[in-house]
Structure 1
């Protein structure tokens, strides 16, 4: 004798019609023994049944139901890609400037090709004002910008999670090939761009950035990297004359800090100073690239 049928579970709303046709749904239902009185209902099943009976989806439960387009649970509108009301994916804008290392804050780089590492089909070219802008990017996505130009060493930014408000004043503090070689000579390194990347950032005072005149660094800060590297890789701190000086044990008022000959991978930078709090920096080291998280998106004091 057939077992009595239980009420249909609304959890099948997770199988979006666009991805699973009616015949496929029936086949899957058979495999999962839908309607089998011997199966036990979990707490999640109970909640889903209530949703199905009332017809009111709950935005924030992590399930796509009813008129919901998406649902990232507690991350809706915050760390996820879904809007706070589950009506669709949030999008935001990323914009900034290409600035020469030796001509900041007012210099700009025209004709630079700027791309997004995570969205390689998105590319723009800077005009005479050195500006770039990307619109319609998904909130919650990783964003790493890259810049190439015949006169400058290939450079990329730190990696950011795109917030709802977007990202502004993302800067490339780009160095010419000659400056790149000169800085390497100062720290007595011959960069092996076939195996490693070079990474640099600035520990910055509250409210300061590359757009400000003069020194904007926070002095007396110790910088660490996770995962850690051998001491010969860094940190190498820049002195007040904006020159990397091996032997320094903390930042100067320039705030610059460098790691050299870094194996490819993802790294997190942390700045430490008594009584101070700093934003961490994440970098994706790729062979041959200079990775520079320039102010105001470096190790910014909060």
Structure 2
């Protein structure tokens, strides 16, 4: 039996040596839920998810709005969604480092809501109804929703953080913040409890978006802009709250 034990240990060691992380296998998974902007009860079934850097990478959302997108294990990816009756939305550009990403959600406006917001914000549109430039949207979100399931996230209620401001590198004009009624309000000087923030006339380019708050820290994100593209870095990614720094 001692010989069998040594053989089992050798076999276990061989199996462990052959086991490889997701990065080494060449792919990781992005998983999340697609839902209607300002109406989390509506999940988008049958929507197409792709990445801008490689349009052959594709997934379809399930009846409950969830999806599983297999992407290269290293590099940068910018996911986007196409759904009938909804405006195409791009997410932030993620840097993939060999690990799966969870809760990569799509907050997707109907065509009607998109048109109303474009009118409210006086966004110049082309003949196809697309922005002539780019728009960047995000939410200052509390870290308390960072690890919640989608159902827990939707049950949480208002998940924004009030009192924050945002800036971009390269520099952009001051953004517009959403008020408590989830409406972009030029009179709003800082984020409300809704947490929303938007730039509406962004030239093509790659931007680092950062947040500032008197007492809280937030993650930054990268937005890759092209004419006609709307980038919505929505919770729990985008400008999400980080843990406070330890003192001492």
Shorter-chain TM-score bucket reads 0.7 to 0.9
Alpha-carbon distance between aligned partners in 2 of 1:194 and 1:245, rounded to the nearest angstrom? 19
Contact 2:131/2:229 (CA < 8 Å) preserved in 1? no
- Correspondence for 2:113: 179
- Correspondence for 1:96: 32
Cα offset, 1:194, TM superposition: 5.9
Alpha-carbon distance between aligned partners in 2 of 1:191 and 1:219, rounded to the nearest angstrom? 31
When normalised by structure 1's length, the TM-score is: 0.66
Q: SS at 2:91's partner residue?
A: strand
Contact 2:93/2:222 (CA < 8 Å) preserved in 1? yes
Alpha-carbon distance between aligned partners in 1 of 2:182 and 2:211, rounded to the nearest angstrom? 19
Cα offset, 1:150, TM superposition: 2.3
Cα offset, 1:89, TM superposition: 5.5
Q: What is the number of equivalent residue pairs in this alignment?
A: 213
- Correspondence for 1:219: 162
Alpha-carbon distance between aligned partners in 1 of 2:124 and 2:54, rounded to the nearest angstrom? 32
Cα offset, 1:118, TM superposition: 1.8
- Correspondence for 1:161: 95
Contact 2:37/2:108 (CA < 8 Å) preserved in 1? yes
Q: SS at 2:144's partner residue?
A: coil
Structure with more strand by fraction = 2
Q: Which runs of 5+ in 2 are unaligned?
A: 1-20, 243-248
When normalised by structure 2's length, the TM-score is: 0.79
Matched, 1:271 2:211: yes
Contact 1:195/1:263 (CA < 8 Å) preserved in 2? no
Matched, 1:288 2:231: no
Alpha-carbon distance between aligned partners in 2 of 1:173 and 1:276, rounded to the nearest angstrom? 24
Cα offset, 1:117, TM superposition: 1.4
Alpha-carbon distance between aligned partners in 2 of 1:246 and 1:275, rounded to the nearest angstrom? 24
Matched, 1:111 2:39: no
Tell me which of the two structures has the higher relative contact order, counting C-alpha pairs closer than 8 angstroms and 6 or more residues apart.
Answer: 2
Q: Which structure has the greater CA radius of gyration?
A: 1
Matched, 1:207 2:144: yes
Over 6 Å off, 4+ runs: none
Matched, 1:249 2:201: no
Alpha-carbon distance between aligned partners in 1 of 2:197 and 2:125, rounded to the nearest angstrom? 17
Cα offset, 1:248, TM superposition: 1.2
Contact 2:175/2:199 (CA < 8 Å) preserved in 1? yes
Matched, 1:132 2:67: yes
Cα offset, 1:208, TM superposition: 2.0
